Chains A and B, each alone.
Chain A
Amino acid sequence: MKATYLATAGIAAAAVVLTGCSGGSDSGGGSEAASCTNTIVNTEAPQVTVWAWYPAFDQVVDQFNNANDDVQICWTNAGQGNDEYTKFSTSIESGSGAPDVIQLESEVLSSFTIRDALVDLTEYGADEVEDQYAAGAWEDASSGDAVYAIPVDGGPMGMLYRQDIFDAAGIEVPTTWEEFEAAARTLKESGSEAVIADFPTNGRAFNQALFAQAGSEPFVYDSANPQEIGIKVNDEGAKKVLDYWDGLVKDGLVATDDAFTADYNTKLVDGSYAVYLAAAWGPGYLQGLSDADPEAIWRAAPLPQWDAANPVQVNWGGSTFAVTEQAGDKELAAKVAMGIFGNEEGMNLGVDAGALFPSYAPVLESDEFATKEYEFFGGQQINQDVFLDAAAGYEGATFSPFQNYAYDQLTEQIYAMVQGEKDSGQALDDLQASLEQYATEQGFTLK
């Protein structure tokens, strides 16, 4: 630490020399409110800094600040996903600079709890609000008895499809993966320019969700016992699903484009894919792109199943609010984390202006949300038809404390498989080996 002091002195000197009389304006970093994107309504009240990238979040913040006299949100959009995590990570390492409350996707929560960066919210009354949230989303935000975040939005999965392309090829909407494969063949034989869907090698959480539908449980991890982890990424469920998609890829029935690139977006809207296997936030995303082709007719249906008699619902994505260990007033921060979207006004704003799929039960289970008609889907009530069932059936998942590494490796292995370098079983076995080795190197005991 000696280096730090020396450096501090050096920098302080440099700063004084170079900035001259600038002193006084900066309050000294840390979790002090430096500058907020929003306007503070009640300047007397203590402020809680929040990092988040939700669409239309400015409205939600204003609503919160107007409704609360005793606390104010000071909001910053510190970047989307990994950009924000990079900053958070740097702040954790250097011991300062993190906000009080931070938006994190559920899948990265363990990656931060293992670094002691997040506060267990049960101390601050989180367990009392458990029944206000969808069970699966709550499960994703907790680990054992601890609750590390308050769920905000989820991504229960469904299938968005092009009715016009299906009709042209004479395809019925598939309800099982068997029917899905048959539909893919029919589509190809019909001479259509479209393939049935894309199987992105960089699908990460998407791929993992598909595996989970066949019963794959890749990780066993409880943050109460942080040195132990169970890894089984090559279990039966995962192998079954990847083998299925490998077959589709080899037969040329699906595309293998990287997801969410400009190119992928083009293909999503120009009829290159007949189906978009999507999470509940997918419709909002699709609408943002869709003005390219007014002829397209989109509809939503439940995700195909392996066993129609025993449907399994899965989730792709979803985010939460966590309280950081660097928070000045953790109790107040916890109050904000629970309060931002934990009321109908806030959540409704998120749903209407930000196209979020809520985890907050009073909104999720409201008639208004269920019967909401989506013009883009020809007036279909897609929540009632598809996503509410998917959300209700989702039971939660466990993520590893090195989820980013696991996803990066998954991408590499699936890419190698798609390139024909190895078969699906080998890809998953190699993934298992690399994750086991990594976990051991990182000091974990394998269960």
Chain B
Amino acid sequence: MATTTAPTSSPSAEASQQGKHRPDRNYRRRQRWGWLFVAPFALIFLSFLILPLLFAFRMSLFTNTLASGTDFVGVDNYVKAFTDPIFLSGLGTVAKFALIMIPAQMIVALLAALVLDNLATWASKFSRLMIFVPYAVPVVIGALMWGFLYSPRFGPAADLFNLVGLAAPEFLSQDNIFGSLVNIVTWQWAGYYMIIIYAALRGIDPGIYEAAVLDGATDRQIAWRIKIPMISSSLVMVVIFALIGTLQFFTEPQVLRGVAQGAIPVSYTPNMYAFSLAFSYSQFNYASAISFALGIVVFVFSFIFLFLTRKQSGLK
């Protein structure tokens, strides 16, 4: 994970600086300025992240049931969480989402970016902006809107499918809800990822593949053999964003639940489970444990992913 690799670049930087300056008192004293620059952020970071986290972690070590008082139970809540069928099935759900949703977003974003990189028409510029526009829609508003769009009566699906002589699917049924959620997320985020990938593609010096063009390579070959390998570290970062977001999947299913309470149970994803435990069932302690357990899972998965792609991302 980046966490552990971040400092690795500093020894070399340090060495080169020390080579120039020698670790004299002036140099040492100057480094304290770093703290001054970091201090305002550190204050906020401590107040609104670290302390709440410590507080939440402490809560997760206690139990407080409705009918009896608060007890210290140590890691019992975590043992319970990782054997809790509801939490585990929620993890299964987000794992399934990760396997389907991330590739879906990546394919759309990558294809769009590759096509756009090859074009310089007004139509392509216009398309680029239009594909990106959903990113400007707040997630809650987007999910509310899709809730309307999925409604058989309220939304346009029936009309659209009638055009081609088909009956509209029931987007909000148990069988289709998964795909409906994948679609919302893809719609909301693919444009953003596309822009990042596109920006990376624009960063490639065309000189690199001019030779290939002269040799008669097709676009597809250039894309596959030259462009994609060259932007692999961007792709890895985009996937990491998507992975963290997917494992913490919350807002879209929570909002959509407003119109599909049967198909999306309260504990559909681990984050929704934590939310309902805390706010509907007043089990704040166990909810904290579930949140941290999810945090651990996110961390492990991100770490595994970065480890597997260490060659592509350039991380050691």
Contacts and interface: CB of A to CB of B under 8 A. Distances in A.
B36 interface: no
B66 A411 contact: no
Nearest to B148: A262
Nearest to B286: A441
Contacts of A408: 265-266, 276, 280
Contacts of B151: 261-263, 266
A185 interface: no
Interface in B52-76: 52, 54-55, 58, 65-68
Interface stretch (A7-15, A160-168, A354-362): A7-15
A404 B281 contact: yes
Contact of A11 (B40, B47, B280): B47
Contact of B261 (A262, A404, A411): A411
Contacts of B280: 82, 85, 404-405, 408
Nearest to B152: A263
Nearest to A94: B284
Nearest to B263: A415
Interface string B162-179: 000000000010100000
A89 B153 contact: no
A201 B55 contact: no
Q: Which of B147, B152, B279 has the most CB of A within 10 A?
A: B279
B262 A415 contact: yes
Contacts of A262: 147-148, 151, 153-154, 259
Interface in A410-447: 411-412, 414-415, 418-419, 441-445
Contacts of A13: 43, 47
Contact of B262 (A7, A11, A263, A418): A418
Contact of A10 (B47, B68, B259, B262): B47
B100 interface: no
A202 interface: yes
Nearest to B153: A266
Nearest to A3: B55
Given A89-B279, A263-B259, A408-B276, A226 B58 contact: no
A401 interface: yes
A266 B67 contact: no
B2 interface: no
Given A201-B261, A258-B259, A263 B66 contact: no
Interface string B214-249: 000000000000000000000000000000000000
Nearest to B265: A412
A270 interface: yes
Q: Which of B151, B154, B281, B282 has the most CB of A within 10 A?
A: B282
A443 B281 contact: no
B56 to A, nearest CB: 9
A111 interface: yes
Contacts of B148: 262
A263 B154 contact: yes
Nearest to A227: B67
A10 B55 CA distance: 13
A114 interface: yes
Contact of B67 (A3, A6, A442): A442
A442 B67 CA distance: 6
A7 B47 CA distance: 6
A17 interface: yes
A331 interface: no
A111 B66 CA distance: 9
Interface in A1-40: 3-4, 6-7, 10-11, 13-14, 17
A443 B278 CA distance: 17
Contacts of B284: 93
Nearest to B258: A261
A444 B67 CA distance: 6
B279 to A, nearest CB: 5
A4 B59 CA distance: 12
Nearest to B284: A93
Contact of A443 (B52, B66, B172, B261): B66
B304 interface: no
Contacts of B153: 262-263, 266-267, 270
A401 B92 CA distance: 31
B98 to A, nearest CB: 24
Contacts of B66: 114-115, 401-402, 442-444
A93 to B, nearest CB: 6
A441 B48 CA distance: 33
B43 A10 contact: yes
B139 interface: no
A115 B282 CA distance: 9
B213 interface: no
A443 B68 CA distance: 6
A91 B280 CA distance: 13
Given A226-B67, A262-B259, A263-B151, A14 B58 contact: no
Nearest 5 Cβ contacts at the A-B interface: A415-B262, A443-B67, A443-B68, A7-B51, A202-B261
25 contacts: A3-B55, A10-B47, A14-B47, A85-B280, A89-B282, A90-B279, A93-B284, A111-B282, A202-B261, A202-B262, A227-B67, A258-B259, A258-B260, A261-B258, A262-B147, A262-B153, A404-B281, A408-B276, A411-B261, A411-B262, A412-B265, A415-B261, A415-B262, A442-B66, A444-B66
Given A201-B262, A258-B261, A442-B66, 7 more contacts: A3-B58, A14-B48, A89-B278, A201-B261, A202-B262, A419-B262, A442-B67
